[in-house]
């Protein structure tokens, strides 16, 4: 079976999916920043810088500029697709090893770094995980099993085609 024969692959995202993913993603980033910032302004700004630069140089360039959704389907779960198209030329869908490592480090860092400070603020910790957990669950269970970004390190379609 070829990739093109898979009728279950996503060609776009529903409005409610985009709304929930964007609210959850940017929500947990802001809560993480706030939890760090109220303990240490310098570390809070450092986390903000890590997230900002990591998104611009590693996630958007490494992952999103290789993703077919903004360029072929005029869609994206996390940003308006035209923002990605304006910032980056389509790179052909073949992520390099550095792209994959960079994306994974930034994504893991956005979740792991704030934990040290969130432990001191139970309500923020709960709110952080109420927002982060759906993303951590939705991707491997739903999106990664139906995604057309075959070069992404989280994509599960290739392994599903081999069975």
Q: What is the pLDDT of residue 161?
A: 57
Token code pair at residue 148: 């057309």
CA distances from 6 to 58, 105, 140, 160, 161 (A): 29, 30, 18, 10, 8
Dihedral of CA atoms 81, 92, 147, 106 in degrees, nearest 10, equals -70
CB atoms within 10 A of CB 22: 15
Among residues 105, 87, 96, 29, the alpha carbon closest in space to that of 62 is found at 96
Among residues 143, 124, 156, the alpha carbon closest in space to that of 76 is found at 143
| Domain assignment present for 16 | yes
Q: What is the DSSP letter of 44?
A: H
Task: Calculate the CA 49 to chain-centre distance.
Answer: 17
| Domain assignment present for 161 | no
Q: What is the pLDDT of residue 6?
A: 58
Rounded to two decimals, the pTM is 0.88
Q: Whole-angstrom Cα distance, residue 54 to residue 145?
A: 25
| Domain assignment present for 2 | no
- pLDDT band (50, 70, 90) for residue 8: confident
Count of domains for the chain: 1
Q: What is the pLDDT of residues 129-156, one digit of tens each?
A: 999 999 999 999 999 999 999 999 989 8
Q: What is the pLDDT of residues 47-61, one digit of tens each?
A: 999 999 999 999 999
Mean pLDDT of 96-119: 96
Q: What is the pLDDT of residue 46?
A: 98
| Domain assignment present for 115 | yes
Token code pair at residue 73: 């389907």
Q: What is the pLDDT of residue 18?
A: 96
Q: What is the pLDDT of residue 1?
A: 40
The answer to whether 106 and 58 are in contact (CB under 8 A) is: yes
Whether the predicted pLDDT of 72 surpasses 90: yes
Q: What is the DSSP letter of 149?
A: -
| Domain assignment present for 6 | no
| Domain assignment present for 100 | yes
List the domain range (segments joined by +) for residue 20. Answer: 11-133
| Domain assignment present for 160 | no
| Domain assignment present for 64 | yes
């Amino acid at each position: 079976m070829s990739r093109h024969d898979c009728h279950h692959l996503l060609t776009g995202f529903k409005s409610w999916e985009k709304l929930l993913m964007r609210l959850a993603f940017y929500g947990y980033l802001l809560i993480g920043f706030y939890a760090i910032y109220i303990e240490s302004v310098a570390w809070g700004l450092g986390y903000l810088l890590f997230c900002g630069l990591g998104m611009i140089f590693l996630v958007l360039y490494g992952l999103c500029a290789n993703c077919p959704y903004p360029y072929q389907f005029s869609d994206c779960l996390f940003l308006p697709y035209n923002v990605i198209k304006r910032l980056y030329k389509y790179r052909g869908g073949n992520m390099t090893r550095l792209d994959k490592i960079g994306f994974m480090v930034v994504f893991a860092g956005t979740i792991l770094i704030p934990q040290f400070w969130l432990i001191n603020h139970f309500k923020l910790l709960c709110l952080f995980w109420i927002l982060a957990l759906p993303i951590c669950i939705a991707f491997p269970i739903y999106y990664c099993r139906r995604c057309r970004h075959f070069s992404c390190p989280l994509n599960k379609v290739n392994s599903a085609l081999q069975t």
